[in-house]
Structure 1
């Protein structure tokens, strides 16, 4: 009888420990997500790109609908750094390209959204979709 009781107590303790892990993970994930949204500092009406994850690092922003060469006025693109995150506060979806003059489309971001990218390329031009 003692063996069964010990097993039951151990099983209950095991279940209590492992059932608490997902809740803690979910809470920390929610906290991280809300904290990372606060990092995106992008003015209304602008398309913003960042050299760091979650809107960190150097920011370049543009209010025009399209730009044939982002290196003309973005310091971290001029230094050869990749774009790791974007935010689109325009009223339209933005398509972006790894080459100037709208060549080699790599992705797009809907109006009012953004986030981390793959981080292995530069955005060299963009325009509305």
Structure 2
């Protein structure tokens, strides 16, 4: 079973009313939050917090078993795919090791939140 994750742009945030209700001081992210959001070109990044905050774990390779030796956790709340177009485009993020279990399809340039804390145990790059 696979699920496609779509991008949510600024219009989605406006439709939810979040931009109009956040005070200006709260809207300014601190330096740590900005650093956590950075995902190098060619990588897929997963974050422990929503909206690309918290601890970041990233890879530019297909991984059969994303274990604790790579990151302190495998439970994530948000993601961004910063892969190269035409080479390592899209990502399948699996809930079990060795590309098993449920697969989230994360298209190139997609970023967003999972519905809750989500176990990512293996990652596979592919081109359409």
Which category describes the TM-score, using the shorter chain as reference length? 0.5 to 0.7
Higher helix share: 1
Tell me the secondary structure at the aligned position of residue 120 of structure 2: coil
**Which is greater in Rg?**
1
1:123 counterpart residue number: 120
TM-score by length of 2: 0.65
1:67 counterpart residue number: 63
1:90 counterpart residue number: 83
- Consecutive unaligned residues in structure 2, runs of 5 or more: 1-13
- Consecutive unaligned residues in structure 1, runs of 5 or more: 1-21
Higher-RCO chain (CA-CA 8 Å, sequence separation at least 6) = 2
Higher strand share: 2
What is the number of residues matched between the two proteins?
99
Q: Does 1:103 align with 2:100?
A: yes
TM-score by length of 1: 0.65
Retained in 2: the 8 A contact 1:95–1:105? no
Structure 1 CA distance for aligned equivalents of residues 20 and 51 of structure 2: 16
Q: Which runs of 4+ in 1 moved over 4 A?
A: none
Structure 2 CA distance for aligned equivalents of residues 88 and 55 of structure 1: 11
What root-mean-square deviation, in Å, do the aligned CA atoms of Structure 1 and Structure 2 show? 2.9
